[in-house]
Amino acid sequence: MTRVLAIGIYADIDHTALVEEEGAAMLATLDDLAGMPQADRDRIEAVAYRGHAPFGPDQMALLPRLRVIANNGVGYDAIDVAAATERGIVVTNTPGVLNDDVADLAVAMLVAQSRDFERGMRAVRDGSWAQTGELPLARKLSGRTVGILGMGRIGREIADRLVAFKCRIHYQSRTPKDTPAGWTYHADPVDLARGVDDLVVSVVGGPATEGMVSARVLDALGPDGVLVNISRGSVVDEAALIEALEQGRIRGAALDVFRNEPDVDPRLARLPNLLPLPHVGSATVETRAAMGALQRRNLRAMLEGHAPETPVNDPAAVVRQAAGG
């Protein structure tokens, strides 16, 4: 029986590589783990994970020899990293390789929402353009002041792209970053929203950012503002967002992520001033191939006794914890 278990739905190229190169056993969902024979589970040392279901202590306990959880994606909020560290398990993710795709999409969504692409496409497709004539005027993006909530790798790529649109850049992060002259730092999300026209959310998910985009942030953004979220649905207070969109307290939103996805709140999905996408930030052939390759390199490095390329927790600390120190 293999030492490697892959959990999740993988593209054919990744499925083939996991089976043929890593000898992985495949499970469609994390829920299937408990159904594996105990003798098979006892041999597993590495998990390649692709999913959003919580991977916590109960699941880890089913794999007593587990040494690494290699996540397919930059966001790892589904994995209980503290629990993994306590058990001597290294967690890795796949940052960097998806920055361009996610940043491209964020800017595209901001453009599409500002210029009302969805209404325009619908008018052409249903023939109403010929009957009603010109559509209402949209809004210009170039020259606006845009806030980036979370100036990490992806946030910086988004900001760099928006500079080409002659946008003024404001940002919020835990500490000021080394940025070009003229970019404005804010220590508080409400203060950031108050100082910009539009707001792009690019923070990590998890308890620390739960509901960070609150009713106060949305009210600070104001009735001419557009919210774009390409991070995690948990970052936005969806009830507050629905009210703000319904009442016109912000002009619009463009979301690639949602709470409880793929089961999107129908009150949100049907709003005409929402541009929704089904979590496709990294969904290109090139980027998904690069993510899968990095996931497998991390997994293979751990099994061969080497340091992984992109650990989430400190491998040295994990080793100390496993040794009881």
What DSSP string runs through 96-149? Answer: STTHHHHHHHHHHHHHHHHTTHHHHHHHHHSSHHHHH-SPPP----TT-EEEEE
Q: Provide the annotated active-site residues.
A: 232, 261, 279
Whether omega for the bond prior to residue 262 falls within 30 degrees of 0, making it cis, is: yes
Is the pLDDT at 159 greater than 60? The verdict is yes
- pLDDT tens, residue by residue, 107-154: 999 999 999 999 999 999 999 999 989 999 999 999 999 999 999 999
Domains of the chain and CATH, by start: 4-96+285-322 (3.40.50.720), 99-276 (3.40.50.720)
Nearest to 149 by CA among 103, 98, 192, 95: 192
243 pLDDT tier (thresholds 50, 70, 90)? very high
Q: Are 68 and 49 in contact (CB under 8 A)?
A: no
Q: Is the pLDDT of residue 324 over 80?
A: no
Return the structure tokens found at 244.
């703000």
- Predicted pLDDT at 2: 84
Q: What is the mean pLDDT of the chain?
A: 95
Report d(CA 121, CA 280) in Å as an integer.
Answer: 20
Query: Quick one: pLDDT at residue 316?
Result: 74
Categorize the per-residue pLDDT at 321 as very low, low, confident or very high, splitting at 50, 70 and 90.
low
Asked if residues 74 and 98 have their Cβ atoms less than 8 Å apart, the reply is yes
**What is the b/e burial string over 27-48, where b = at least 16 CB atoms within 10 angstroms of the residue's CB?**
beebeebeebeeeebeebbbbb
**Per-residue pLDDT tens over the stretch 174-218:** 999 999 999 999 999 999 999 999 999 999 998 999 999 999 999
Task: Grade residue 1 by pLDDT with cuts at 50, 70 and 90.
Answer: low
Instruction: Calculate mean pLDDT across residues 14-25.
Output: 96
Q: Which two tokens stand for residue 323?
A: 């040794």
- Residue 290: is it exposed, middle or buried by C-beta count within 10 angstroms (0-12/13-18/19+)? middle
Match 């308890």 to its residue by tokens.
207
Query: How sure is the predictor about 315, in pLDDT bands with cuts at 50, 70 and 90?
Result: confident
> Tens of pLDDT along 118-127?
999 999 999 9
Q: Residue 296 corresponds to which tokens in the numbers above?
A: 């497998």
